[in-house]
Structure 1
Amino acid sequence: MALRLAIVLSSLVATPALAASGASDPSGVWMRGDGNARVRIAPCGGNICATNVWIGDTSGGENVGDRLVLTVSAGNEGKLVGTAYDPQRGLTYSMEMTIKPRQLQTRGCVLGGLLCKSVNWSRDD
């Protein structure tokens, strides 16, 4: 459940550090591949936040307003890599984002990379 939220990543505007690095900009609203969540990825303080703006079925523990605080930087092959902190659950995940103009893939891992999940997103704004 918490890992699902970590992978929900949604609308954010690139921070100056990302813009300067030439990294792709994940800013905006994204629909999760299963159609159950929309997230907005946008700047928040010195980081990027992915905030749930719509959840179809809340029985999995996801709620509108839940957010992840992302600390990412440009990695290899145009990916953003770093961490995602879930303040609702007090958990930190390793995070990797692959950004294309209308598609986003996120990969979140816990337990030192022993448990990972990838999720595909489509731009919804």
Structure 2
Amino acid sequence: MISVLLASGYAGMAHAADYDGEWARGDGKARVLVAPCGSDICATNTWIKPGTPKEKKGDRLVMTIKRDADGVYSGSAFDPQRDMTYKLTLTVNGNSMTTKGCVVAGLICKGVDWTKIADTAKNGL
């Protein structure tokens, strides 16, 4: 499951948002690229450790989020591969990010830690 991320108006921004870029999941089994996709933000799997069940390269999570405070974003995320929508909170602190996704009216939640490995602004993406 892609457990990720984010948004605060891309239009007219001279610099990338703090969540833009490529992130490695804390368990070492996945990497995602977080970037704009239309009016939303997408987290797309760029690498999945072989043998990781239920995930594949190219899977995408579409996020509709807004900034609540410095480095904190909230909203929802849609996983088209599983046809599921999650309540999402994303917290970014430098090169560290934590995502928390909840289903079933917020009763079942899972948090995931991430480490930034690349910045889309620096890579020209």
Partners of 1:41 and 1:13 lie apart in 2 by 10
Among all aligned residue pairs of Structure 1 and Structure 2, give the percentage whose two residues are the same amino acid.
Answer: 44
Q: CA RMSD in A?
A: 2.6
Quick check: 1:28 aligned with 2:21?
A: yes
Structure 2 unaligned runs (5+)?
119-125
Q: Decide which of 44, 57, 64 is 2:50's aligned counterpart.
A: 57
More helix by share: 1
Q: Partners of 2:28 and 2:7 in 1: how far apart? A: 22
Structure with a larger share of its residues in strand? 2
**SS of 1:124's equivalent?**
strand
Aligned to 1:16: 10
Is 1:101 paired with 2:94? Answer: yes
Name the counterpart of 1:85: 78
In 2: Cα distance, 1:25 partner to 1:59 partner: 28
Aligned residue pair count: 117
Deviation per residue, 1:78-117 (Å, 9 max, x gap): 3100000011111100000001221000000000111001
TM-score (normalised: structure 2) = 0.83
Please tell me whether the aligned partners of residues 13 and 28 of structure 1 are also in contact (alpha carbons under 8 angstroms): no
TM-score (norm 1): 0.83
CA–CA separation in structure 1 for the residues paired with 2:117 and 2:71: 21
Structure 1 segments of 4+ aligned residues over 2 angstroms from their partners: 12-17
User: What secondary structure, in the 3-state scheme, does the structure 1 residue paired with 2:55 have?
Assistant: coil
Q: Which runs of 5+ in 1 are unaligned?
A: none
Instruction: Write the distance in 2 (CA, Å) between the matches of 1:104 and 1:112.
Output: 23
